[in-house]
Structure 1
């Protein structure tokens, strides 16, 4: 069970205050008496204070749900981020805040895929490498795949390495794979990678996540934020090529209606 702050209403305070009053005919406890009406009226302010305290403890203290204190959270964490050039909804800002607080950095492909997913994008990553003697074979070393056809050479122990196309999809039965390397070329080829952006970022209007009269029903985001974030966190010696040829309308930052 979730631990929640105990919230007392103004009527709760009125009942507690009435028990502290003197006894006698001059101090009636009848709910319709003038005395009890005054007690209830004076006690409501404490109920409001209690409700505000509960709001701060249960909602505003959580960066995933904060609204009123969101500007304070953002100021303390150096937001808004210059990577976000487009208008952001409250939900977008909450996501950016949580990401800023939790991101630790890494160099794996999964790290960049997760960063993109946090802000509403689906991506795959294609890395390159030059031909390597002792690892690759001369001639046409592409293979026909079924999603699990292994790459191998005579000098290495055979291992099951899934065959995928550049966007990370398994090669189908009798489908010819891509070249496993970039062919002859400089060693700098391995410092390039292609990020395939598979969907536009769709931000649908949501109650509590948007502002009536400010945010539209749907905002289709440009990928300027994605490019900025990935270029910020990529290893310094690498270069990212962004590919939008497989862009679809699927995916959404705030879900689909």
Structure 2
């Protein structure tokens, strides 16, 4: 907790030299000057405390746009944040996010994005020591993997009022696909399965 204006006034008054040129009466010009200086010093002291709060992405207010700009937010893949608390939460995730390429990393990323219970399936090509009934896959499957999202997300079905060129059904979350495509290993092929 910072010092108050009264604290600063007492400290400044104690620094004055002794003598008739430096009166100690509150109505004197010297004491009024000290009081005005003390108010400003107390205001600056309070702003320093605010600066400490602005240094943490979980409590920032004034510097939130600067923090977001530094860490590439708002993300093009996500819908705009609904309020300051959501913006702070996304910023904190981005600041503390270390990244990774393991299945555990992507499962935790999906969980943080609001997709709990997701699993990842990695495809492996047929090898000489594979089981006899193992599927024979193309060589490109070595780099393919699938995210299994347990609930169907944003399922749209054609209605009577729909246009004739609309698909009969569509599903998926374009934001999720965008994020996973952005952070997946570059040499891999990503599939997303909804309602698995």
**Given the two structures, how large is their TM-score scaled by the length of structure 2?**
0.68
RMSD: 3.4
Aligned-residue offset at 1:18 = 2.4
Question: Superposition pairs for residues 195-206 of structure 1, below 5 Å?
Answer: 195-198=147-150
Report the 3-state secondary structure (helix = DSSP H, G, I; strand = E; otherwise coil) of the residue aligned with 1:71: helix
Task: Report what 2:66 is aligned to.
Answer: 72
Aligned to 1:153: none
2:161 paired residue number: none
Compared CA separation, residues 104 and 48, structure 1 to 2 (3 A): same
Alignment of 1:74-153 (within 5 A): 74-122=68-116, 123-138=118-133
How far the C-alpha of 1:124 sits from its partner, in A, is 1.8
Answer 1 or 2: which has greater helix percent. Answer: 2
Q: Which has the higher contact order (CA 8 A, sep 6+)?
A: 1
Q: In the alignment, what sits opposite 2:159?
A: none
- How far does the alpha carbon of each residue in 1:157-181 deviate from its partner, in whole angstroms, 9 at most, with x for none? xxxxxxxxxxxxxxxxxxxxxxxx6
TM-score between the two structures when normalised by the length of structure 1: 0.54
Q: How does 1:1-257 map to 2 (within 5 A)?
A: 7-21=2-16, 22=18, 26-28=23-25, 33-34=26-27, 38=32, 39-40=34-35, 42-56=37-51, 58-122=52-116, 123-138=118-133, 183-198=135-150, 223-245=173-195
SS at match of 1:112: helix
Write the distance in 2 (CA, Å) between the matches of 1:95 and 1:79.
12
CA distance in 2, matches of 1:51, 1:199: 49
For structure 2, the 5+ residue unaligned runs are 153-171
- Which stretches in structure 1 are left out of the alignment for 5+ residues? 1-5, 139-180, 201-221, 247-257
Post-superposition offset of 1:127? 1.9
Partner of residue 165, structure 1: none
